Copies of this chain bind each other. A is one copy, B any other.
Amino acid sequence: MHRSAIICSVAAFFVLNGTAFAEGDQQAANKKNVVAFYEAAINHKDFAAASQYLGPRYTQHNPNAADGPDGFKRFIEFLREKFPNAHSEIKKVFADGDYVILHVHAVREPGTRGNAIVDIFKLENGKIVEHWDVIQPIPEQAANGNGMF
């Protein structure tokens, strides 16, 4: 192999790993942070543990929750008090740019069909700063046999 070809191969390796894969690394870290946040908040109902994943703001688009980290804290307290056995199973995790998207099966009372939910989180510097969701009760009957997940 010509000397310049060897240098090129080594250089290309570092270029690929240092630059092109950096975005993928951030998205993987964002996915990990959002899943850890979700487990702490929604399943363990532990706002203190969840809050380490929050940034300086938490802009809330769920129409039933008050804005900000404090609104989210009150939502977790509501869950802990009214639905202590509520459990959400994350079915899929996606990331694109600064966003992480979760497809979730949420059951507030064990034994009930529960809700299908998609949560969208925006992150800045690896911290969660904004949240949107869409929630739909899972119906008893369906026009196909594929389930909602």
Q: Give the shortest distance, in Å, between A1 (CB) and chain B (any CB).
A: 13
Q: Which of B63, B139, B141, B148 contacts A138 (CB 8 A)?
A: B63
- Bound CA–CA A135/B146 (angstroms): 17
CB interface residues, A 73-104, toward B, < 8 Å:
92, 94-97, 99, 101, 103
Do residues A146 and B61 form an inter-chain contact, with CB atoms below 8 A? yes
Q: Is A126 an interface residue (CB 8 A)?
A: no
- Bound CA–CA A143/B21 (angstroms): 40
Q: Give the shortest distance, in Å, between A135 (CB) and chain B (any CB).
A: 5
Which B residues lie within 8 Å of A64 (CB)?
139, 142-143
Q: Which of B11, B12, B116, B139 contacts A134 (CB 8 A)?
A: B116
Do residues A144 and B4 form an inter-chain contact, with CB atoms below 8 A? no
- A binding-site residues for B, Cβ under 8 Å: 3-4, 7-8, 11-12, 15-16, 19-21, 27, 59-67, 71, 92, 94-97, 99, 101, 103, 116-118, 120, 132, 134-136, 138-139, 141-149
